[in-house]
């Protein structure tokens, strides 16, 4: 029994000493070394897709949509019918307007043709008879004048014949005047005016008919359709949006503090969760004109022009965006988690022997995980990563590299 007591006491003493040494040993801290690599600095964010070229088609009249012959995503030509709006009185009004035009045209034709047909025929017959009688009486007058020269007729007979000729000429003149009085120039003008008014009325009805049909304002894709057959539309309501989708605009939301890193022409990569594995390329089109709130963020909308050759990316999609703001060759980088900040500025805890020492640093470009160090570190320097226990400058450590 005594032989077992001494080994057990020795083991307990060793354990006690080991515990004391362990308790007093510096904490284990993970360190990573600063290294050089090509740093592609990006701004990851999100955005919304819209066409660069688009137009809205709106209803010009109020009423129920009786026909909507298109669907979202459908390619349409300029002027294609997007919707038809019911106008119950249109057919009746069209028939009435067409009847007024036909009546006005008939009245004008009658006026230009001599007015009232029966009276015009009567005057024409009377004129024909009077002209025939006049020709006959004129020939008779010439005969009597020759006879008077040979003293075979008297002067009184010649005068009587001349009077008959004069009466017929007066009768013809009266008939001509009567025929001219049937339709005056003013009556013809009035008939023209009535026809113009009737045609204007018909055109107004036809225009009203055209306004019941909503047509595509441009050739492209119907990417938004706000009405279905049977739905009611008020004048001015949006029916559809038509745009070109082979080239799109993505409004990328960049947080206000990062906007200074954005420049026109920078490459942009777009990813859409609905089509995982695909990406679209583009460039920054222009810088934002204003700052606005998006949820809890203060952002600038950065318009980016994106090529969409397969037309797989659709307007209205919420997408992930990555703006490549810089490419730095041979950059000295450390993980972003190693960078610390206080009132004096940015710093890291660098390993010197077995002690963590403060090193003030100046940063450059960065990615999601890495940051460029332009001053304060050399290649191969080890910097501390975050630990569960608080680590202060000057603390001794057990480095884990």
Please classify residue 96 by burial: count the beta carbons closer than 10 Å to its beta carbon, then call 0-12 exposed, 13-18 middle and 19+ buried.
middle
Section 67-76 average pLDDT: 93
Beta bridge partners of 328: 39
Q: What is the pLDDT of residues 163-219, one digit of tens each?
A: 888 998 888 888 887 776 665 566 777 878 888 888 888 888 888 888 899 999 999
Q: For residue 21, what pLDDT band results from cuts at 50, 70 and 90? A: very low
Section 312-323 average pLDDT: 94
Residue 71's pLDDT is: 94
And the tokens for 282? 């583009």
Percent of the chain past pLDDT 70, that is, above it, reads 89
With CA atoms as reference, report the closest residue to 351 among 34, 25, 24, 21: 34
Residue 153 has pLDDT above 50, yes or no: yes
Taking the C-alpha atoms of residue 23 and residue 311, their distance in angstroms, rounded to an integer, is: 65
Q: For residue 67, what pLDDT band results from cuts at 50, 70 and 90? A: very high
Residue 74 has pLDDT above 50, yes or no: yes
Residue 383's pLDDT is: 96
Residue 269's pLDDT is: 96
Section 292-318 average pLDDT: 93
Question: With contact defined as beta carbons under 8 Å apart, do 305 and 321 qualify?
Answer: no
Question: When comparing pLDDT for 69 and 387, which is higher?
Answer: 69
Section 231-260 average pLDDT: 94
Q: CB neighbours of 153 closer than 8 A, spacing ≥ 6?
A: 144, 147
Q: Out of 80-84, 90-94, 354-358, pick the least confident.
A: 90-94
Q: Using CA of residue 371, residue 372, residue 377, residue 382, what is the dihedral sign?
A: positive
Q: Do you know the residue count of the chain?
A: 401
Residue 11's pLDDT is: 65
Residue 338 has pLDDT above 60, yes or no: yes
CB atoms within 10 A of CB 316: 12
Q: Which of 93-102, 129-138, 236-245, 382-391 has the highest mean pLDDT?
A: 236-245
Q: CB neighbours of 119 closer than 8 A, spacing ≥ 6?
A: 182
Section 308-334 average pLDDT: 93
Pairing of strands 318-335, 267-271: antiparallel
With CA atoms as reference, report the closest residue to 262 among 42, 40, 39, 38: 42
With CA atoms as reference, report the closest residue to 50 among 320, 317, 270: 317
Q: What is the pLDDT of residues 256-294, one digit of tens each?
A: 999 999 999 999 999 999 998 899 999 999 999 899 998
* Average pLDDT of the residues of the chain: 87
Residue 13 has pLDDT above 60, yes or no: no
Percent of the chain past pLDDT 90, that is, above it, reads 53
């Amino acid at each position: 029994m005594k032989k077992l007591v001494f080994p057990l006491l020795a083991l307990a003493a060793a354990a006690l000493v080991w515990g004391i040494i362990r308790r007093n040993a510096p904490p284990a801290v993970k360190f990573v070394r600063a290294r050089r690599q090509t740093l592609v600095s990006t701004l990851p964010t999100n955005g919304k897709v819209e066409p660069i070229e688009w137009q809205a088609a709106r209803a010009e009249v109020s009423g129920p949509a009786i026909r909507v012959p298109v669907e979202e995503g459908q390619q349409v030509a300029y002027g294609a019918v997007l919707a038809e709006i019911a106008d119950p009185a249109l057919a009746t009004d069209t028939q009435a307007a067409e009847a007024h035009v036909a009546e006005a045209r008939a009245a004008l034709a009658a006026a230009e043709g001599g007015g009232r047909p029966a009276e015009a025929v009567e005057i024409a017959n009377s004129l024909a008879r009077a002209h025939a009688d006049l020709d006959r009486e004129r020939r008779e007058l010439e005969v009597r004048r020759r006879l008077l020269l040979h003293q075979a007729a008297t002067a009184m007979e010649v005068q009587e014949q001349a009077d008959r000729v004069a009466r017929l000429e007066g009768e013809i003149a009266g008939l001509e005047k009567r025929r001219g009085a049937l339709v005056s120039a003013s009556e013809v003008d009035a008939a023209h005016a009535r026809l113009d008014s009737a045609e204007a009325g018909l055109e107004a009805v036809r225009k009203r008919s055209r306004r019941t049909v909503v047509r595509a304002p441009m050739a492209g894709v119907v990417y938004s359709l706000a009405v279905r057959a049977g739905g009611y539309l008020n004048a001015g309501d949006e029916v559809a949006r038509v745009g070109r989708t082979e080239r799109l605009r993505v409004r990328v939301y960049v947080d206000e503090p990062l906007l200074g890193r954005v420049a026109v022409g920078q490459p942009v990569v777009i990813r859409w969760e609905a089509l995982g594995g695909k990406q679209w390329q583009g460039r920054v089109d222009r810088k934002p004109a204003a700052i606005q709130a998006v949820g809890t963020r203060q952002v600038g909308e950065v318009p980016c022009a994106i090529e969409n050759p397969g037309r797989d990316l659709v307007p209205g999609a919420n997408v992930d965006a990555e703006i490549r703001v810089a490419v730095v060759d041979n950059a000295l980088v450390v993980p972003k988690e190693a960078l610390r900040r206080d009132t004096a500025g940015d710093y890291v805890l660098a390993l010197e022997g077995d002690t963590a020492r403060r090193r003030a640093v100046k940063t450059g470009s960065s990615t999601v995980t890495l940051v460029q160090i332009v001053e304060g570190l050399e290649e191969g320097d080890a910097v501390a990563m975050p630990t569960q226990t608080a680590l202060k400058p000057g603390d001794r450590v057990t480095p884990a590299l």
